[in-house]
Amino acid sequence: MKNFDLVVGMKFKNAHEFREVLRDYSVREGYELTLKKNESYRVTTVCKKGCDWRIHASSVMGGPTFQIKTIKGEHNCAKSNTNKFANYKYLGKRVEKIVRDNPDINIDQLKNTITRKCEVELRKYNPGSKFILRKKEDFETPTFEKLYFSLNAMKNAFLEGCRPIIGLDGCFLKTIHGGQMFVAIGRDGNENMVPIALAVVQMENRENWTWFLRELLEDIGGLGDGR
């Protein structure tokens, strides 16, 4: 998502797009936000730390188009390098765009780019998180092979608050590059799904599932000496 300032009169195709822009603004600017009103026809957001910044957007003439109607106050709170909005979905989209636009990027460059753009560092502010990006070694041009991603908070949520059962699933990625996404999820006592880890691979096969499960079990402490 391109960086830009939020201004009164700015329009979005629907409420979902406006919320995504708010998420990007929150992470990029370093201010934690909270939704005061979150409805299909209006969204009002304020600063979580209590300063007087406030933004309100609503539908245009009852249609799907959303428009910023008011922005009041200013942020006078300290910026933060930790943000709940910088979750696996947000970072996953950023990683996909960066790799697609820069297929020759190496792992260190990718990590530095994510840190610079998102102003978050997974291992610094969420110790124990794992991010693996592999390329094919037998190609002259660096070519994506597979990716594994899991936040330490996601793993702890599973280990501390979920049943000892893991659900696995895979789906096709509907992009020009294709590929498959693997996910591992748990369920808590209220039947809520809790994401544990995800991976992106070129195809679904035994080798890729084995790799994903080995990384997952290593993360949650389920691998014994028989690896």
SS3 63: coil
User: Distance between CA atoms of 119 and 32, rounded to whole angstroms?
Assistant: 13
Query: Taking 90 as the threshold, does the pLDDT of residue 215 lie above it?
Result: yes
Q: pLDDT at position 225, please?
A: 43
CA-to-CA distance for 110 and 52, rounded, in angstroms? Answer: 36
- Tell me the average pLDDT of the chain: 82
- Which of the residue ranges 47-61, 88-102, 152-166 would you say has the lowest mean pLDDT? 88-102
CB atoms within 10 A of CB 34: 13
Tens-digit pLDDT profile for residues 114-148: 666 554 565 555 677 888 888 887 767 767 889 99
Of residues 166 and 99, the one with the higher pLDDT is 166
Over residues 68-79, mean pLDDT:
87
Under 8 Å between Cβ of 147 and 133: yes
C-alpha 168, offset from chain centre? 19
**Poorest-pLDDT segment among 53-57, 111-115, 196-200, 213-217:** 111-115
Report field, pTM of the whole predicted structure over 0.85: no
Domain boundaries, the chain: 11-72, 88-220
- For residue 82, what are its two tokens? 């930790």
pLDDT band at 224 (very low <50, low <70, confident <90, very high): very low
Q: Is the dihedral of CA 78, 79, 81, 83 positive or negative?
A: positive
**Bridge partners, 56 (sequence order):** 44, 70
Q: What is the pLDDT of residues 153-176, one digit of tens each?
A: 888 889 998 988 999 999 998 877
